[in-house]
Amino acid sequence: MRILVTGVSGFVGSRLVPRLLRDGHELRGFARDPARVTVELPVVTGDVVTGAGLDEALDGIEVAYFLIHSMEPSTDGPFAERERLAAERFARAARAAGVQRVVYLGGLVPQGEAVSPHLASRLEVERVLLDAAPGATALRASIVIGAGSRSFRFLVRLIERLPVLALPSWRDHRTQPIDERDVIELLARAATVPEVAGRSLDVAGPDVVSYRQLIERIRDLLLLDRPTVGIDALGPALLASRLAAAVGGEQHELVGPLMAGLSSDLLPRDDSAATLLGVRLHGLDAAIEHALATWERDEPLAAR
């Protein structure tokens, strides 16, 4: 199949390309800065927010992956507005090009509770993209455990750098992190499996853990002695997220919205995605060990 991968310079996109090539697909990439693309494929330069390059990128494409977010610092308005504009322009160009399937990777959302602005934006993008092509598919994931995952790297850096892990009230909320290898496999199969056409599916690992348990699992596998302490009063949420971003060496534009989404359980609606797509899932400890080992191949971990 002729497939377009947007966000091809990012964590998920760069790992998805080799997997799709193994299936014999004809690939094309789309990126704002082709110099940042580390995988071998033709790349169209453009920007989904402005729409530049989309017509060229989507010409003759059967399946298009939308793996872009707009949470990086920008002077072009709030991230939710940029994400909506990007999705609408991409959907319009995909329909005009006759794309048969769009595959989108979004985020898990709480059931029956208020949704943070970050997750609400993901839902709006999902709504727009599911209307973009007759076989569109949306996958929703929680924290992706991988060496290149910014959320996982942020947690590792916090654990490395803090002698005591002070955890706010969200520490007891639950989620189901997923191994990056499983996300890539699920995305790759979503391009061709008829049963997922027109559907929104939650993708999650097999282990349900609280955020405290997740942090403690990472700490233990880093072979560190860091006590965890529950603290319900860490000051204003904005200040707490800025401090966490500074300690973890991450942009607040990413950390702030992510931390706002931890105020409730983030669990899948069901576990049908892995069955429909025929994917066997890795357990959490195996996912963390693999991510840390991959990380250490490229750069040292201060804690190990």
Using a 10 angstrom Cβ sphere, with 0-12 exposed, 13-18 middle and 19 or more buried, the burial of residue 191 is buried
**pLDDT at 194 (0 to 100):** 96
With a CB cutoff of 8 Å and minimum separation 6, the contacts of 95 are: 132, 133
Pairing between β-strand 174-175 and β-strand 209-210 as defined by DSSP bridges: antiparallel
CA distance 41 to 90: 21
Separation in Å, CA 215 to CA 59, 61, 208, 252, 300? 44, 41, 13, 20, 20
All structural domains of the chain, each given as residue ranges with its CATH number in brackets, are: 2-144+179-203+268-280 (3.40.50.720)
| pLDDT, position 271 | 93
pLDDT of residue 263: 74
* 267 or 245, which is more confident: 267
pLDDT tens figures, 276-289: 999 999 999 999 99
- What is the tens place of the pLDDT at every residue in 44-98? 999 999 999 999 999 999 999 999 986 555 556 677 898 999 999 999 999 999 9
Most distant CA atoms of the chain, gap in Å = 56
- Average per-residue pLDDT in the chain? 89
pLDDT at 260: 62
Tell me if 49 sits within 8 A of 55, measured CB to CB: no
pLDDT digits (tens, 9 = 90+) for 240-258: 566 666 666 666 566 656 6
Residues 6+ apart with CB under 8 A from 286: 179
Confidence (pLDDT) at 301: 81
